[in-house]
Structure 1
Amino acid sequence: MVPSVRNNFGIISALYNLIESSTKRHVIFEEIQEEAGLKALTIKQLSDTRWTCRWNCLKVVLTRYPQIISTLQVMEAPESHLLIHSMERFDFVFHLFIMSEIYLITNILSKYLQSSHICISQALNQVKMTVNALESLRNETEFERFYSTALQISEENEIDPPKELRKKKVPVRFGGGDKTLNALNIEDHYRINTYYAVLDTIITSIKTRFDENIIIDVLLMEKLFLTKTLLNENELKQLSKQYSLNYDDLRGEQRLYKAKLSTSTYQSQATLSEIRLFILENHLNACLPVMDELFKILWTIPVNTCTCERSFSTLRRIKTYLRSTTGEYRLSGLALLNIEREVEIDYGEIVKEFISAKNTRKIVF
């Protein structure tokens, strides 16, 4: 991350710790917002991994900037004066605005990747769209828009515009003397050293994280199972070599599978859940053992870990202070009901099974 932007996030983190760590200070912030006729918002905590949390935090700081400054002025804490000094600078406003706009784009990708029904190829398409959107911002026209907006926000909040950088003289021992280095003007400085640097860092990071060369085998398996397109000879050899499968068997089973898939009602690409049902309903797991092995591998490679994380969050919500004595069996059942709440349950069958479990229940019910 660019040092100046990293410093900005440090200021925002300190702001969160100061205001939201105290109920009294939080109430002051809410009252100032309500006096201005605005809906009371809460400053969100920054997260190292969740882009959505960062976007929500930046949005609140940007939209409630005057109210935050007023809150800090009312507070008697010594840290508030330091934060006011750090926030009432063009640097802070400019970095805050560009990062909020960038996270606005990446937040869409973040939400999409949390879906439990996407596959790797669909995720990569969304990643490419996000990268293209970020790359479209990397030009002078977009920079001028960002820079002028930051100047306007600074002017509205009585913040001094950025000053020209001090020109440095070349030392005499290096042939200088009266000569000065070719220093950038202030606008070029923000464009090259901040705006372009931030965009390049984020774009490179996304491309590295979602490198197709790393997950090429997963993409080939998705092409094999989810589409009606046949894999070529090299692609089949790569899969058979990677997972120690018989190449001839895989090539033959692919033909049978694609022939069966072509008779289905699926469009250009099905989902993993649909293909799982398709394989089980047509008993292809028994007919095509090599393909079945590959599908098991594909099925056990998650696109993300959001479902697992939601399961952990479920336990935290269920086992509260009032349920501290809940046993493992009951807790497991409650968690399963909550996690799999989308599954339709036939309550009539449950009642019948409950009654038939014991003879005494048959008499009562």
Structure 2
Amino acid sequence: MASGQCPNTIIGIIQTTLGEINSWATGCGLSLNRRKTELMLSTTKYKLSLPLSRELQKVNLDLVQAMDLAKDLREEVKKIREKKDAFSAIYEASKKIAENLDIEIKHKRIARRQKNRANPEVQSTEDYFRATAFNPFLDFYIMDLGEGFTKHENILEGFSALFKHDLNEIDKVADKFIKTVEFYQEFLTTKPHAVLVELKVWKRYLIRKGDIKPGNSLDALDHCPEEKFPNINALLRILATLPVSTFTAERTFSSLKRIKTILRNPTKEDRLNGLTTLAIHHDIPITADEVIDELSKKSRKLDFLL
């Protein structure tokens, strides 16, 4: 499957799926219009992350490049969030899909008092889904990009000096580079200001070799001999091995599969969350006193006998 055809292919699959769901629901006398509308809107919204998703799948992508891409996407999503007419195009595209599937787009009943679901005071169906689906999605997406990529910006921003090709540009980010060197000082052999000088010498070395301009850490390592520039080589190796993303969610599901066996199927949510947390964060030590203190917070008919 070509990557450029992915969105259209996904929409085609969803249209076919929604058609089957619609036939099944009609036969059972059910109405799923609102859920299907939210699914169609979500399909269009997730196209925003397609460019970043493609880049994250590249083999030679390092953390600095990923952080820059995430920052650009975050700023673009912020602009979309601020535009009042940005949702109109998405809504019209969803309406066309709904017409092809014979689905009526309508929103939930607006009540005077409602605590269990979204209940915005709106005048149209488009405004309802903008307030309950589109804007919350963008707010969460902006927050998630910030937490996932840009929270280590102060430390990682210094790595950008490794890819500055002008010595004057290196001087502009020298303070950030020194902070990064100080953070990884235990892996280096000289002091931060000496590493900065080594960086400038390495840049002159690249210019003398034919004005080489590496675009990522792996390319830079090929042109940074360790015997001549040991500290710059160490920083490039650190940058190349820093993970761009993690599989925490996948590991969580794997742990849950091992914990919730057939015998533990009746386990309630609180107990299951506790067992899963213990299994995932097994490296955190827990003493018997901490367990007793936690159990003692709840009143019990029987006293603890130690």
**TM-score, normalising length from structure 1?**
0.52
How many residue pairs get aligned? The number is: 231
Q: Measure how far apart 1:85 and its partner are.
A: 2.7
Q: Matched residues, percent identical?
A: 18
SS of the residue 1:224 aligns to: helix
Amino acid across the alignment from 1:214: H
Partner of 1:258: 203
Q: Distance in 2 between matches of 1:108 and 1:127?
A: 10
Amino acid across the alignment from 2:145: I
Q: Distance in 2 between matches of 1:130 and 1:63?
A: 31
Q: Distance in 2 between matches of 1:248 and 1:169?
A: 63
2:146 equivalent to 1:146:
no
Q: Measure how far apart 1:196 and its partner are.
A: 1.3
Q: Measure how far apart 1:113 and its partner are.
A: 0.4
Amino acid across the alignment from 1:303: V
Q: Distance in 2 between matches of 1:73 and 1:137?
A: 35
Structure number with the bigger relative contact order (C-alpha 8 A, sep ≥ 6) is 2
Which one of the candidate residues 62, 69, 80 is aligned to 2:22? Answer: 69
Which one of the candidate residues 119, 138, 158 is aligned to 1:220? Answer: 158
**Aligned-residue RMSD, C-alpha:** 3.8
1:1-365 paired onto structure 2 within 5 Å: 60-70=13-23, 72=24, 81=28, 85=30, 87=32, 89=33, 91-138=34-81, 139-162=83-106, 165-168=109-112, 183-187=121-125, 188-211=127-150, 213-224=151-162, 227-228=165-166, 229-231=169-171, 232-244=173-185, 245-266=190-211, 269-280=214-225, 285-304=226-245
SS of the residue 1:286 aligns to: coil
Give CA-to-partner distance per residue, 1:203-253, whole Å, 9 cap, x none: 221222111x41443332342256444245423431332123413421331
Give CA-to-partner distance per residue, 1:46-66, whole Å, 9 cap, x none: xxxxxxx99976651235532
Q: Which moved more, 1:195-204 or 1:146-155?
A: 146-155
Q: Distance in 2 between matches of 1:205 and 1:129?
A: 14
Amino acid across the alignment from 1:296: R
Partner of 2:269: none
Q: Is the 8 A contact 1:105 1:133 kept in 2?
A: no
Amino acid across the alignment from 2:49: T
Q: Distance in 1 between matches of 2:152 and 2:106?
A: 44
Amino acid across the alignment from 2:122: L
Q: Is the 8 A contact 1:165 1:184 kept in 2?
A: no
Q: Is the 8 A contact 2:161 2:174 kept in 1?
A: no
Amino acid across the alignment from 1:297: I
Gaps of 5+ in 1: 1-52, 75-79, 171-180, 310-365
Q: Is the 8 A contact 1:154 1:160 kept in 2?
A: yes
Q: Computing the radius of gyration over CA atoms, which structure comes out larger, 1 or 2?
A: 1
Gaps of 5+ in 2: 1-5, 251-306
Q: Measure how far apart 1:192 and its partner are.
A: 1.6
Relative distance call for 1:158 and 1:210 in structure 2 (3 A) is: same
Relative distance call for 1:299 and 1:226 in structure 2 (3 A) is: farther
Q: Distance in 2 between matches of 1:274 and 1:113?
A: 17
Q: Distance in 2 between matches of 1:160 and 1:248?
A: 66
Q: Distance in 2 between matches of 1:276 and 1:182?
A: 55
Amino acid across the alignment from 1:191: R
Q: Distance in 2 between matches of 1:61 and 1:185?
A: 29
Q: Distance in 1 between matches of 2:241 and 2:222?
A: 16
Partner of 1:25: none
Relative distance call for 1:242 and 1:152 in structure 2 (3 A) is: closer
Q: Distance in 2 between matches of 1:157 and 1:208?
A: 38
